[in-house]
Amino acid sequence: MENKHRKFAIGMLTVVLLSACGNTSNEASSTLDNKSQPAQITNEDSGEHTVDEDNSAPNTNDTNDKEVVASLKAEYLMKLNDTQKETDELRENLEDDSTYGMKGAEGKRYEVWDGLLNEIYGVLKHQLSSEEMEQLRIKQREWIKYRDKTAKEASLKYEGGTMEQLEYVAVLSDLTEERCFELVEDYMK
């Protein structure tokens, strides 16, 4: 729980800092509803997009690069916090509280977080240098092994039972959610 509060506080601090720089909350959150594409942030002074729909890198000719890049990180932190709230509600408000229904909800949670993880990774490909990206690629492969191993180990306490698969996908979801926050906080510029 403490980690969730820290993440929320970081996101809110970033929003406050952006507001102090002259950005409006509408500008930072204008595209949060678009869950499948990295959001576009428009620099009001130039009218230029800093991230294109094809995941291209931020416009480096912009005189406000630091502000624009910080806006992208802040936007993703807000998007992750919103997604966290939505997926927590999905988990808490099950239409079907059978094991089958819970597996379905956890499967949806995993799909959402895995999609965001891939989206964030795509943005980072454009933000990081080739050396930084290669290091991240190695760490990401290690993390995938860790995630899968941890989920499998957790599910074995229910081996052969109806809860085994539910535990596996729930741990996958939780670890993927955590990794999304880590990538944005630690790598996104």
Checking if the pLDDT of 69 tops 90, the result is no
pLDDT value, residue 18: 35
Residue 79 CB-density burial (10 A; 0-12 exposed, 13-18 middle, 19+ buried):
buried
Instruction: Choose the weakest-confidence range: 20-29, 106-115, 145-154, 158-167.
Output: 20-29
pLDDT band for position 67 (cuts 50, 70, 90): low
Please give the pLDDT value at position 189. Answer: 85
Number of domains in the chain: 1
Q: Is 165 exposed, middle or buried (0-12, 13-18, 19+ CB in 10 A)?
A: middle
| 143 or 90, which is more confident | 143
Least confident of 18-22, 88-92, 99-103, 170-174: 18-22
CA proximity to 116, closest of 75, 80, 77, 74: 80
Q: Which residues of 4-22 are buried (b: 16+ CB within 10 A; e: fewer)?
A: eeebbebbeebbeebeeee
Lowest mean pLDDT among 48-57, 66-75, 85-94: 48-57
Distance CA 60, CA 72 (A): 14
Does position 146 have pLDDT exceeding 60, yes or no?
A: yes
Average pLDDT, integer, range 103-127:
96
Q: What is the mean pLDDT of the chain?
A: 74
124 or 3: which leads in pLDDT: 124
Token pair 């990538």 is found at 183
Q: What is the pLDDT of residue 70?
A: 59
Q: What's the mean pLDDT in 75-103?
A: 93
Q: Average of pLDDT values for 89-113?
A: 92
- Please check the confidence at residue 17 and state whether its pLDDT lies above 80: no
The residue with greater pLDDT, 124 or 94, is 124
124: containing domain: 2-187
CB-facing half-sphere around the CA of 32: CA atoms within 13 A: 20
What is the percent of the chain where pLDDT is above 90? 55
